[in-house]
C-alpha cells in the first residue's frame, strides 16, 4: 500500500509540469521539412495636411504676482477673442499652460570679475498663459497669426501640421507594405527553389513624418501685424507603415 501511494503521488506531481510545458510557445510552427521566412517591408502614402496645431499666448511681468496675472488676463482675453473672431471654433482652443513664476535679479559683478555670492533676490513676477489652437483653414493660418500678434500675443509657437482623419492614407500604406512583403517572399522562395505556402504572422509599426520642423513666430517686441500675411508652406505629410510578416515556405 505504501508503494502504491508513492507512485500515485509521483504521477500527480508530473501533471502540472506537462500542462505548463504545453502552454509554452516558441513562435510560428512550420511543418516538418518546410522553412520559416521573416520579411520586413515598408509602405508609404502622402497627403497634404488639413490641420495646423500651434500654441499662442501672452507673457507679462510686474512687481507683484497679482499685478502680472491681472495684466496677463486682460491681454489673454483679447487674444482669445481675436482667435474666435478669426473663425477658430471654441472647441479648437484649449489652455495648455497657465503659470506664475518669480523673476530673480542678477548677482552684482565684483571688480575682479567674479560675482557676489548672495541669496537670489526676487525683483518681480512673470505670468504666462498659453492656448493650444487647431487651425482648420490652412490658407488663413498666416493671417490668424498676424491677427494674434496685433491683439497682444507675444508667444506664438508652431505649426505642427497634421491630418484630421489619417485612416485612409494609413490603409494605403499598409496595402503597399503587404504587397512589397509578398513580392519579396516570392523572390526569396523562387531563389531558394521553394514556394510560399501561407502567412504565419503579421505585425506593424506605423507613423507619419512632418514636412519641416516647427516654426517660431512672434516675440514681445512684435506687437503690430505686418502689412502682408506671414507666409506659411504646409507641404505634405508622409505616412509610413512597416509590416513584419512571417511566411512558411515549402518545396
Chain-centroid distance of CA 224 in Å reads: 33
Question: Is residue 227 over pLDDT 80?
Answer: no
* pLDDT tens digits for range 168-192: 999 999 999 999 999 999 999 999 9
Contacts of 67 (CB under 8 A, 6+ apart): 125
Contact, 162 vs 52, CB < 8 A? yes
| Average pLDDT rounded to a whole number, residues 38-49 | 94
* pLDDT tens digits for range 18-33: 344 344 455 668 888 8
CATH of the domain spanning 35-48+165-212+235-250, picked from 1.10.1200.10, 3.30.110.170, 3.90.1150.10, 3.90.220.20: 3.30.110.170
Q: Do 51-106+121-162 and 35-48+165-212+235-250 fall under one CATH topology?
A: no
Domain coordinates of the chain in residue numbers? Answer: 35-48+165-212+235-250, 51-106+121-162
**Secondary structure of 184-213 in the HEC alphabet?**
HHHHHHHHCCCEEEEEEEEEEEEEEECCCC
* pLDDT tens digits for range 82-109: 999 999 999 999 999 999 999 998 777 7
Q: What pLDDT is stored for residue 27 in this prediction?
A: 62
Q: What pLDDT is stored for residue 118 in this prediction?
A: 73
Q: What pLDDT is stored for residue 154 in this prediction?
A: 93
Question: Closest Cα to residue 80, out of 174, 139, 144?
Answer: 144
* pLDDT tens digits for range 136-164: 998 888 889 988 999 999 999 988 999 99
Q: Tell me the pLDDT band of 208, cut-offs 50, 70 and 90.
A: low
Report the CATH number of the 51-106+121-162 domain. 3.30.70.2970
DSSP annotation string for the chain: -HHHHHHHHHHHHHHHHHHHHHH---S----TT-EEEEEEEEEEEEE---EEEEEEEEEEEESSHHHHHHHHHHHHHHHHHHHHHTT--GGGEEEEEEEEEEEEPPPPBPTTS-B------EEEEEEEEEEEEEE--GGGHHHHHHHHHHHT--EEEEEEEE-S--HHHHHHHHHHHHHHHHHHHHHHHHHTT-EEEEEEEEEEEEEEE-SSPPPEE--TT--S--SSPPP-----EEEEEEEEEEEEEE-
Amino acid at each position: 500500500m505504501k508503494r502504491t501511494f508513492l507512485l500515485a503521488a509521483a504521477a500527480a506531481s508530473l501533471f502540472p509540469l506537462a500542462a505548463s510545458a504545453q502552454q509554452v510557445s516558441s513562435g510560428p510552427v512550420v511543418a516538418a521539412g518546410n522553412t520559416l521566412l521573416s520579411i520586413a517591408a515598408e509602405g508609404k502614402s502622402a497627403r497634404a495636411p488639413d490641420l495646423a496645431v500651434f500654441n499662442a499666448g501672452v507673457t507679462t511681468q510686474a512687481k507683484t504676482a497679482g499685478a502680472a496675472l491681472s495684466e496677463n488676463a486682460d491681454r489673454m482675453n483679447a487674444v482669445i477673442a481675436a482667435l474666435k473672431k478669426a473663425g477658430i471654433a471654441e472647441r479648437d482652443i484649449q489652455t495648455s499652460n497657465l503659470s506664475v513664476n518669480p523673476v530673480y535679479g542678477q548677482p552684482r559683478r565684483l571688480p575682479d570679475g567674479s560675482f557676489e555670492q548672495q541669496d537670489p533676490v526676487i525683483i518681480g513676477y512673470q505670468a504666462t498663459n498659453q492656448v493650444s489652437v487647431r487651425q482648420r483653414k490652412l490658407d488663413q493660418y498666416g493671417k490668424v497669426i498676424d491677427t494674434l500678434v496685433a491683439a497682444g500675443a507675444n508667444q506664438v509657437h508652431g505649426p505642427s501640421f497634421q491630418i484630421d482623419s489619417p485612416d485612409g492614407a494609413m490603409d494605403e500604406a499598409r496595402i503597399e507594405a503587404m504587397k512589397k512583403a509578398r513580392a519579396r517572399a516570392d523572390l526569396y522562395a523562387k531563389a531558394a527553389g521553394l514556394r510560399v505556402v501561407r502567412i504565419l504572422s503579421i505585425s506593424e509599426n506605423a507613423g507619419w513624418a512632418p514636412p519641416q520642423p516647427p516654426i517660431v513666430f512672434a516675440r514681445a517686441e512684435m506687437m503690430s501685424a505686418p502689412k502682408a500675411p506671414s507666409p506659411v508652406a504646409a507641404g505634405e505629410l508622409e505616412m509610413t507603415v512597416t509590416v513584419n510578416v512571417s511566411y512558411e515556405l515549402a518545396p
